[in-house]
Chains A and B, each alone.
Chain A
Amino acid sequence: MDAWLPLIFLVVMGLAMLAYVVLDGYDLGVGILLRRAEDRHKDTLIASIGPFWDANETWLVLGVGILLTAFPRAHGVILGALYLPVALMLVGLILRGVAFDFRVKARAAHKPLWDRAFWAGSLLAAWSQGYMLGMWIVGFERNWATVAFALFIGAALAAGYALLGAGWLIARTEGELQRRAVTWARGALLLTAMGIAAVSIATPLVSESVSARWFAWPRMALLMPIPLATAYLFVRAYSALRTLPRPQDQGRWIPFACAVGIFMLAFAGLVYSAYPYLVMDRITIWDAASAPESLRVILYGALVTLPAIVIYTVISYRVFRGKATELRYY
């Protein structure tokens, strides 16, 4: 089993990161959209993510925790190279997390200030995550072209999160706010599509090994479902957004589901491009893994706790199902 441990941990880490991107993605997205919302809608926007954001963010701690504990060497290289964007992301997450509580507890005159902190923190966190993704794709090589590329990915990820957030709001709100969310989703969908197209074109250009993986026959044919399915989801979301909201609120989950699907496919594409490298073309999962006996100890713990975590996460979402309403402390 020892030989399989790095691979198992790569899968667990990948799932944790994917869970993070989708789950915290929608609440960061709602934060990014806060700025576009009318004052009277802001409380509902925030109420829709209130019970979840904290647990959503925990997936990041798990993902980075696995990187740190299972692949310590890669962790050092990756986070060392990304030191400043990581710091910016953390500042963003801190601002966002505390603004959530301060905005309703501080004096009313300060509320707009905390709302702005909430928006800025969400955007900063999303943008720096995208920037980090971009730098990771280019193997942390820094010149004006790679930095521009990474900054662009930052914008694309922020747009992707906004799409998730708008999809979430369409499903979880009603009335005027829901109609506005549909408009936001249309804009975000366009930006996300441009972002994903650009990443797909640029990634093989900046990395030869990536291009070798994708553009070789017959692999290319086998891989075609990924871009085709992505394109289908974009079209599906686009057509749904043209008619939403519908009577009886039918199809209210379609944009969110499409956005989640798009993120999963993009994630699959990235994993395929990079595997088995944790640092592009330099460090593989086998180079970076820690001692098998420690990995086994973590794995046993994860096998017991992760199913429990999934179960109580589902319970929590069931408790708060339905339209977002006034959040009331007990």
Chain B
Amino acid sequence: MDALILARVQFAANISFHILFPTISIALTWVLLYFKWRHARSADPRWMAAYRFWVKIFALTFAMGVVSGITMSFQFGTNWPGYMEKVGNVAGPLLAYEVLTAFFLEATFLGIMLFGTGRVSDRVHTLATLLVAIGTTLSAFWILALNSWMHTPAGHELVDGVVHARDWGQVVFNPSFPYRLSHMLVASGLTVAFLVSGLSAYRWLRGETTGDAALTLRMGVRLAALLIPLQIFLGDLHGLNTLEHQPAKIAAMEAVWHTGRGVPLVLFAIPDTEARSNRFEIAIPKGASLVLRHDPEAEIAGLDQFEGRHPPVAPLFFGFRLMVGMGMLMLLVSWLGAWKLRGKREPPRWLAHALVAMSFSGWIATLAGWYVTEIGRQPWLVTGILATADAASTVPAASIGLSLAMYLALYAALLTAYVSVLFYLARHPAVAKSPPVPTSAPLTGMS
């Protein structure tokens, strides 16, 4: 295998592993603030118990995100040296602002948020938690600004083949940014909603039917039921925005090989790149025109218009269906759940089992969505400016291969450990709520 393929696989492996954790921690900080707020208002100790349980999961998730994020900060440069050379003048400041405004904020106040009990007042602790939440969200803001700019570059000019920023407002608020940012933030909310309801349902099934688990089960389901229609709406807007700016991506997602009017919506098919058509196609007549243009007779650009410069069809087609399918499942489970839990009703056992099964559904949908959008940008790294192949590393393939094997082994072990620790904590809520670093030799307080 050549260095380009290896560099891509390695970067994809790292960024896929990394994104799992911010996807949880971004929304989970706000959920933790919500727990604190409910506790302050109601004085119901169960909200504090919920906070104590979930703050541990947050700490673990945050640590996983930080360490895998440090890896990313190195690999931007090592795997894609051509990237910084060509667009460093735009990417550099955006990444620097992420570090300066977000990373330090969240990392520093995380210490006070996690360990500040007894050392700061409750008000200061809430403030620290709020600052961590703002930090995680700001981090998403900057990184999605950069990512969106790579999809739909704006506000720049090319001088001697190098990108120079001309209007930072346009660079940051480029055409796809508002849609991508809101789609991702809501994805984070949904991931957390299903994780919270899933782990809580697991605890509920194990007999914790009166404590904080019953409370958070309900809250998670309701949050999911609230967010999923919003997400479907935002996803549709995002899709329309993509159709306008990256039509080849849409054509590949929908496996539309030929330009035409009244294009059917393909529900299932096996896209055949050789024959440039679909096999075993099941489609709704005029569906794609209706969904994409909101008009059954509208014209849709097919892949024939982008021959030789469109992304691979199969991963986009299936990735998109996986994401949408997961979204539909989320809609079904959360709305059924919200209905079954209305008032003060107890969850039926089948619902609890379904929620446990859906615990990590947000991860699947988020990853599938990111694969669609990122593979959909190919063959470009920055649309129209820099081809992925021109940015690749000059590092020997053997070095990349060796480090890739090392990362993959580590990530597999850590992911297993992470998921099993989450369920371990759910099985041992007493462990989860006890102080995490007890000292056997009693030490005095502040000196």
Which positions in A face B, CB cutoff 8 Å? 40-41, 43-44, 46-47, 50-52, 54-55, 57-58, 60-62, 64-66, 68-70, 72-73, 75-76, 79-80, 83-84, 86-88, 90-91, 93-98, 100-102, 104-107, 173-177, 249, 290-291, 293-294, 297-298, 301-302, 305-306, 309, 312-313, 316, 319-330
Contacts and interface: CB of A to CB of B under 8 A. Distances in A.
Contact of B71 (A62, A76, A94): A94
A64 B435 contact: no
B164 interface: yes
B89 A294 contact: yes
21 contacts: A50-B111, A51-B111, A54-B111, A55-B111, A79-B74, A80-B81, A83-B403, A88-B406, A91-B406, A97-B63, A97-B67, A102-B417, A293-B164, A294-B164, A301-B93, A313-B108, A316-B109, A325-B443, A326-B435, A328-B437, A329-B52
B267 interface: no
Given A98-B67, A327-B435, A302 B96 contact: yes
Contacts of B117: 328-330
Which residue of A80, A94, A173 has the most chain B CB atoms within 10 A of its CB atom?
A94
A86 to B, nearest CB: 6
Nearest to A80: B395
A134 B426 CA distance: 47
A293 to B, nearest CB: 7
A97 B92 contact: no
Given A60-B70, A294-B89, A298-B96, 7 more contacts: A55-B104, A91-B407, A294-B88, A301-B97, A316-B112, A325-B443, A328-B435
B435 A329 contact: yes
Interface stretch (B118-126, B310-318, B343-351, B378-386): B118-126
Contacts of B143: none
Contacts, number: 267
B425 A76 contact: no
Given A68-B92, A322-B447, A328 B115 contact: yes
Q: Is the interface of B mostly helix, strand, loop or mixed?
A: helix
A96 B70 CA distance: 13
A80 B403 CA distance: 13
B152 to A, nearest CB: 20
B414 interface: yes
Contacts of B110: 54-55
B103 A84 contact: no
B93 A298 contact: yes
Interface string B69-102: 1110110111001001100111111011101110
Nearest to A86: B74
B104 A305 contact: yes
Contact of A57 (B77, B107, B417): B107
B394 A80 contact: yes
A76 B85 contact: yes
Contact of B443 (A44, A60, A91, A316): A44
Given A65-B95, A297-B165, A305-B100, A87 B403 contact: yes
B55 A330 contact: yes
Contacts of A94: 67-68, 70-71, 410, 414
Nearest to B57: A105
B18 to A, nearest CB: 11
Contacts of A65: 73, 95-96, 99
B435 A76 contact: no
Contacts of B395: 80, 83
A26 B403 CA distance: 27
Interface of B: 51-52, 55-56, 59-60, 62-64, 66-71, 73-74, 76-78, 81, 84-85, 88-93, 95-97, 99-101, 103-105, 107-120, 125, 162, 164-165, 168, 393-395, 399-400, 402-403, 406-407, 410, 414, 417, 421, 424-425, 431-432, 435-441, 443-447
Contact of A104 (B78, B101, B168, B437): B437
Contacts of A106: 417, 421, 424
B109 A327 contact: no
Interface pairs A-B: 10 shortest CB-CB: A69-B92, A51-B111, A87-B403, A97-B67, A322-B446, A104-B436, A55-B107, A305-B100, A327-B437, A76-B81
B59 A329 contact: yes
Contacts of B403: 83-84, 87
A291 B89 contact: yes
Nearest to B96: A298
Nearest to A330: B117
Contacts of A104: 436-437
A101 B441 contact: no
Contacts of A60: 70
Contact of B99 (A62, A97, A323): A62
A297 B62 CA distance: 29
A283 to B, nearest CB: 14
B73 A61 contact: yes
Contacts of B63: 54, 97-98, 100-101
A329 B108 contact: no
Given A47-B439, A58-B103, A325-B444, A93 B97 contact: no
A230 to B, nearest CB: 31
B100 A329 contact: no
Contacts of B62: 54
A328 B116 CA distance: 8
Nearest to B119: A319
A177 B440 CA distance: 12
Contacts of B92: 68-70, 72, 290, 294, 298
B70 A86 contact: no
Nearest to A323: B447
Contacts of B118: 328
B115 A329 contact: yes
Contact of A325 (B109, B113, B445): B445
A227 to B, nearest CB: 34
A80 B78 contact: yes
Contact of A90 (B52, B71, B445): B71
A323 B445 CA distance: 7
Nearest to B83: A72
Contact of B115 (A69, A95, A327): A327
B439 A66 contact: no
Contacts of B89: 290-291, 293-294
Contacts of B104: 55, 58, 62, 305, 309, 312-313
